[in-house]
Chains A and B, each alone.
Chain A
Amino acid sequence: MKKKYWLAGLALLASVAISLFLRLDFSNAALILRELRLPRALIAIGAGSALAVSGAVMQTVLSNPLAEPYTLGIASGAAFGAAIATTFGWKISFFGLNAGAVLGALAVLVLLLKLVVRGQGRQSDSMILLGIMLSLTCASGLAIWMALADPLGVQSINFWLLGDLSRVGLATALALLGLSLVVSGYFWFFSRKLDAFLFGDDWVEGFGVSYRQTQRIAILLVSILVGFCVSAVGMIGFVGLIIPHLVRRHLRTSLHFHLIPLCFLWGAVALTLGDALAHSIGEPRELPVGAITSLVGAPVFIALFIRRRRGEV
């Protein structure tokens, strides 16, 4: 197991090095590194780890391997919440992170759980379908909001919705990274409670774990994390879905004591590399990182879906 941590740590170091030094203009290196690339690398680590850990926890507490902030509509809810908060001028934020996004994420997740009847829908695809419906509802709300908004600002909103790490400053990057560390640390500390969910919903209480309390706390923390993540960097899909599955396969176990820290590390690696691609392949143009993660993630999602249908996952 030690080797797996070493590998993930080295991969993170390598991806950060790539992100910091790929096509760097060395005549101005100190300034570019300090003002641009370092905050970007930190926010990529913070957002990537937050999304991957959130996906892993959601897949466990909702007993659904296709659950992640994006497929459940939490990310769309957060985007819609952030948009509404911006429209009405609700400036409840810290370090540039928007509380409207947290409320939007939380609202979608609570609504989703109300809609899914316990014991009937949770194990099936209906949760994902409901999540997609809620996601579409939020996307429609966003579309209406954008149609009414000043057209000059729409391009900026569009770019943010596709995932944009370039607008984040050092303070926001550190705040999100700190939040991701704290929430991931919480899940790691209580990993045994999460492990109880692996035996099936009906067995959770048998391990002395409160099903409802554990699930609710997990949902609340994930909503806060994803909400702040979306408000900082927009919608970045598939990291939360793909990384937990790949890490489980790599670990050959689903136990959360190892799953949470390794999801943290590999999520950070994935987004750091994705962002390095986003700001270097189209140079001097800037590409939205969410489009790159979706481009890679969508085929993997389809493969997972098909394999699940066949009962292989």
Chain B
Amino acid sequence: MKRVVNLIWAALLISMASAHAAATPPRIVTLTPGIAEWTAEILGKDQALKELVGVSQYSNYPPELKKIATVAAFPQLDVERIASFKPTLVIASEDANRPEQIEKLRRLKLHVEVMPPQSFGGMAAWIQKLARVLNAPVGGKAAAKKWSDGVAALKRPSGHSPEQIFVQVQGSPIVTIGGTSFLSEALQAVGDHNLFSDLKEPYPKVSREAVLKRNPDRIWIVDESGSAARIRDGWKKFSSLKAVAQGRIEILSADDFARCSLRLLNALKRLH
């Protein structure tokens, strides 16, 4: 008899605990701005705002994310601060967060999922993986479709001759995008060519002379620190450059071009 009563108690406790777990919404912390942005896309803005308890610095899209507590200065992490939010899920990035810090989070018994590096060609799969981590397959499928449709819409008509584009992400020293950056892949995908795609680093420093020598058709300046207008004026001196002669120097929003997001696709579409 005693054993039966004990069994009933145990069953009751287990069912109460699981009911509590089902009722408690997840407490999610994201450690890169890109993951936060895609989390909001997959879960939907309202649900994301309920479930996200902490985001990393620069998580500014959708704008409502700015209201969420910043728990990590990107790319450094404040492990203690993250733990203090008692998250049920921490989503980190393999290339943006340091492995030893991820390990520290795991040692604190936090559930950490690490997302692989983003690549333009592999974004649909990346989105589906994030959706599995978030346990939101429907939202993931929809987001991945949006991405694939957006990429398909960027395709140029046949006969388009590829343009050589120089993308400048920093003024001094001059930093551009190399062949392994997602933006270089994006240019390739839309039928254009990154001026420094032969360099293997994602963000190499190059000399001004090298840019003059390669003579790009267009110059895109990513406005990271509000100095893009000054950088553009610096290029205007070099009137023999094709991009300068044809007035094809464009200033781009860093928010649009720093992340592999739907906003990047929209921005690329506008630049066509």
Contacts from A to B (Cβ < 8 Å): 25, 28, 31-32, 35-37, 150-153, 155-156, 159-160, 164, 166-167, 279, 283-286
Contacts and interface: CB of A to CB of B under 8 A. Distances in A.
B240 interface: yes
Contacts of A28: 212-213, 240
Q: Top 9 nearest A-B pairs by Cβ distance?
A: A284-B210, A286-B207, A167-B172, A25-B213, A159-B173, A284-B206, A286-B205, A152-B224, A28-B212
Nearest to A153: B225
Given A28-B213, A32-B209, A286-B173, 8 more contacts: A31-B212, A35-B237, A151-B75, A152-B225, A156-B173, A164-B173, A166-B208, A285-B210
A285 B200 CA distance: 12
Given A31-B212, A31-B240, A155 B175 contact: yes
B204 interface: yes
A283 B209 CA distance: 9
Contacts of A150: 225
Contacts of B210: 283-285
A169 to B, nearest CB: 10
B18 to A, nearest CB: 43
Q: Name A's interface SS.
A: helix
Q: Which of B74, B170, B196, B210 has the most CB of A within 10 A?
A: B210
A283 B207 contact: yes
Given A31-B240, A32-B212, A35-B237, A279 B207 contact: yes
A166 B207 contact: yes
A285 B199 CA distance: 9
B174 interface: yes
Contacts of B174: 166, 286
Interface in B140-182: 170-175
A33 B199 CA distance: 25
Nearest to A278: B207
B238 interface: yes
B172 A156 contact: yes
Given A151-B75, A279-B207, A283-B210, A31 B172 contact: no
Contacts of A35: 237-238
A153 B212 CA distance: 25
Nearest to A286: B207
Contacts, number: 67
A241 to B, nearest CB: 26
A187 to B, nearest CB: 33
Nearest to B171: A156
Q: Which of A32, A37, A279, A285 has the most CB of B within 10 A?
A: A285
A159 B207 CA distance: 13
Contacts of B213: 25, 28, 284
Contacts of A166: 172-174, 207-208
Nearest to A279: B207
A79 to B, nearest CB: 16
Contacts of B224: 152
Nearest to A37: B209
A284 B199 contact: yes
Nearest to B210: A284
Nearest to B237: A35
A279 B209 contact: yes
B173 A284 contact: no
Nearest to A30: B240
A152 B170 CA distance: 9
30 contacts: A25-B212, A28-B240, A31-B238, A31-B240, A32-B212, A151-B74, A151-B75, A152-B224, A152-B225, A155-B170, A155-B173, A155-B175, A156-B170, A156-B171, A156-B172, A156-B173, A159-B172, A160-B172, A167-B172, A279-B207, A279-B209, A284-B196, A284-B199, A284-B206, A284-B210, A285-B199, A285-B205, A285-B207, A286-B173, A286-B206
Nearest to A158: B173
A108 B214 CA distance: 45
A35 B211 CA distance: 14
A279 B214 CA distance: 16
A153 B17 CA distance: 49
A299 B213 CA distance: 36
B265 to A, nearest CB: 24
Contacts of A284: 196, 199, 206-207, 209-211, 213-214
Contacts of B196: 284
Nearest to B211: A284
Contacts of B225: 150, 152-153
A150 B73 CA distance: 10
A25 B209 contact: yes
A25 B205 CA distance: 19
Contacts of A37: 209
A279 B206 CA distance: 9
Contacts of B175: 155
A106 to B, nearest CB: 27
A155 B208 CA distance: 17
Contacts of B173: 155-156, 159, 164, 166-167, 286
A35 B208 CA distance: 10
A262 to B, nearest CB: 32
